[in-house]
Amino acid sequence: MINLNILAIDDDPIQLQIYKDVFEDSPYDLVYVSTNGDSVPIILNEQKIDVALLDIHLSNHSGFDLAEHINQYHKNIKIIFISGDKSLALEAYNFYPLDYIIKPVNIFRLFQTLNRITYKEHDILRIGVKTALGFSLIKKDNIVFISKKSNKTNIYQCNGELIETNEKLDIHETKLLNYGFYRTHKSYLVNLNKVKSIEKDEFMKSYNLLLYDLEITIPVSKYRIKGLKEALDKQFNL
């Protein structure tokens, strides 16, 4: 089990006191609380924070603004939204939170979510994807690769299922940054666990990937081949 340093931002002092009480005898460390987000960028630079509990409606900031800052500058910090507003749940998933908990806070559910991190289940068992029909949760281990074509992004799964989304490939690269995926080409993001072999294309003076599960060849940019080999070496201790 790993220790977690937790930051909590909520404009309700009573809610912050609840956090102080429940975390006092827990395996988690509540290292910073505030009723506004003014000092959050400074705190994140000065202290190691693993989880941010963010209220959405704040006096000086939106919790979404804080989440955007975290996703941009502190990608390893996990976000849990705590809100009394159910209507913002779908919008909240644009910021890839671990959970969206409605007030009054169910402490058991909060601790369940934190336990997913402490016991290494935070390897993004699923990722959220916006589709034309709404929202899909996809098991990351089922993803073989993701490709960009025109203004569409296609997610190819090992069962042959294809999911189409308008989300940019860059968004999925950010979601899967620390989970064994590599951008082999400007238009391809590949699950390294699905790589069968790398083959040199003498004619094109480039490389291609052969993948498990799908009979398809993925191009590798000559500028990314070194990084790919390093990523595979790190992933599989080659």
Mean pLDDT of the chain: 88
Residue 82 has phi, psi (to 5 degrees) of -120, 115
- Strand pairing category for 134-139 and 5-9: unpaired
Span 76-126, pLDDT tens digits:
899 999 999 989 988 998 898 989 999 999 988 898 888 877 655 444 467
pLDDT at position 81 is 95
Average pLDDT over residues 203-211: 83
Domain ranges of the chain: 5-118, 126-236
- Strands in 162-165's sheet, in edge-to-edge order, are 162-165, 152-157, 143-149, 188-191, 181-185
Whole-Å CA distances, 98 to 47, 51, 181 = 21, 10, 19
Share of the chain above pLDDT 70, in %: 95
Span 215-227, pLDDT tens digits:
888 999 888 998 8
50 pLDDT exceeds 50? yes
1 pLDDT exceeds 50? no
CATH number of 5-118: 3.40.50.2300
Cis peptide before 104 (omega within 30 of 0): yes
pLDDT at position 43 is 95
pTM: 0.53
pLDDT at position 119 is 57
Q: Which residues pair with 101 in a beta bridge?
A: 82
pLDDT at position 122 is 44
pLDDT at position 96 is 87
Say which CATH architecture domain 126-236 belongs to. Answer: Beta Barrel (2.40)
User: Residue 177, exposed/middle/buried by CB under 10 A (0-12, 13-18, 19+)?
Assistant: middle
Q: What is the number of other CB atoms lying within 10 angstroms of the CB of residue 196?
A: 10
Span 152-206, pLDDT tens digits:
999 999 988 999 998 889 988 888 877 889 999 999 999 999 998 998 877 767 8
pLDDT at position 6 is 96
